[in-house]
Chains A and B, each alone.
Chain A
Amino acid sequence: MRQKELKLVVTFHTTADAMAMEKACKNAAVPGRLIPVPRMISAGCGLAWCAGLENRAQIVGLMEQTGIEQEELHECMV
């Protein structure tokens, strides 16, 4: 079983924003993956973007550049 690690988790207002983030990250070769929003963050059932903490600046920059609006940035065990 995969060990849980402290990760950067970006939540969004809509599932479409999360899907757009996946596309933008793929195009810009920014590492990360889509995950269900961790239960400790929300009772909702949307999608979130999960990446290493070291990618924070890159991810924030990419969201500014592409106009993808985050709901919140979290650091949590995933």
Chain B
Amino acid sequence: MPRHVHMLFRLGLWAALSGMVLGACGGGSSSASSGTGAGAATGPNVAALSVDSFPPYGTDSCAPAPGCGSLNQLYITLRVCPHGSTSNCQTIDHVAVDTGSLGLRLLAASLRPPTSSFLGSAGGLLAALPTITTTSAGGNGTTVTGTLAECAQFGGGYSWGSIRNVDITFVGTNETASNVPMQVMGDMEPAPAACVTQSTTQYALTGSGTNSSGVVTANPLTYPYLGANGLIGVSLFAQDCQPCATVAQPQQGNNTAGLAYVVCADMTGNHCTPTTVAPAMQVVNPITALPTDNNGFLIRMAAVGSDGAASASGSMIFGIGTQANNALGSATRIAANPAEEPGFVYTTYSGSANAYGIFDSGSSLYFFSDASIALCGSSGVLAAYYCPGGPSAKGSANTTLNLRAVVNDYRDSATPSSTIAFSVNNLNNFTNAAAYAYDNVGGPGPASFGYFIWGMPTFYGKTIYFGLADNADGYAAPYYAF
């Protein structure tokens, strides 16, 4: 069996080989080496992070699963309670930390008592969380009174479900965000047709399993395909849809299928109409809702070896310059675009200045354009990954690329700037069959408009600061620092 097939298993890219995937992702523990390196932080403002194999939920197998033991998916553990209550609280592990989106979104299936059915049984935290009843405003002429819900588009699927308010504690810390609007994913099925048809991945309203090409036909942002119990989006901003405060279903250009917040007549997506939503009712960045240590955070990850690691540990440290353990120190601040293209910075690579770059823990690879690097295949899933030296090469010097790029601020001003060294390895070089954390995997992604995503591989062995917009420390723009 070619080496790259082994790598596919580790990537969770089961494809047509889903029957063999079980062995790769069924084990929650592994004897393979863990990452080591950066020292762990301690303190009441420090939560533990990990990259590991996410075990299947309940008794369901995880195949065929794009998110089964996800490659480079960063996790945190939260304790979630109904607002103002200590009853029905639930500790939820394996919530994916995503610096490329905004807001807490938890799978309905993970908020119910687990049973042999993946949807769980009635009761539990979900039953204790009231939905929000409101009347639509600013929509398309139809006024609906009912349940507030949202369709949030991700590049790899869509998040659909109701909005509910919760209290969130980052486990292991004294940091609690109170009365935070979050989204329940999958409690109002089926999703509205407009939410489905604009998704990049979905092509069947009620699809499940895989099609004849091995492609998952269900929305990847559902159980069990998500590979997590939910997402916590902690990008540099406060609300997930600023334009939604004044415009129902904001559009841009010719994107007429837009759908964001809606009010639904019943607990399905069948009778919903777009609505404006006041900022205070929108899904918010939980960091901004903390009483202190709310101006930003640090992500510090242990390093992993060039052959990957079964797991990697790290810390999420809340606040910047608010405690002894989160001082900016000598880190270089790189201002991120506060407005039109929010959160983006310039990355100059191989002579090209790329305007659309972020530090995104929700991206599993370095995504950047370099036509001189061979892809792992010409079609199918392998074509999304770089294989330096060629699709069947391994071992030789040219199958490991040591690269560097210069990051500077969103105005493309030359200073301050910071040079980041990174590696892209041919998948064929990897031998660790149980690894999920890699600091040396890349692909072209959409490769247009200067797209340069510093994905999760960037984070290992580093501390990266995320300074939020409108922060209280006197720095004008949101920023990254490292």
- B is bound to A: no
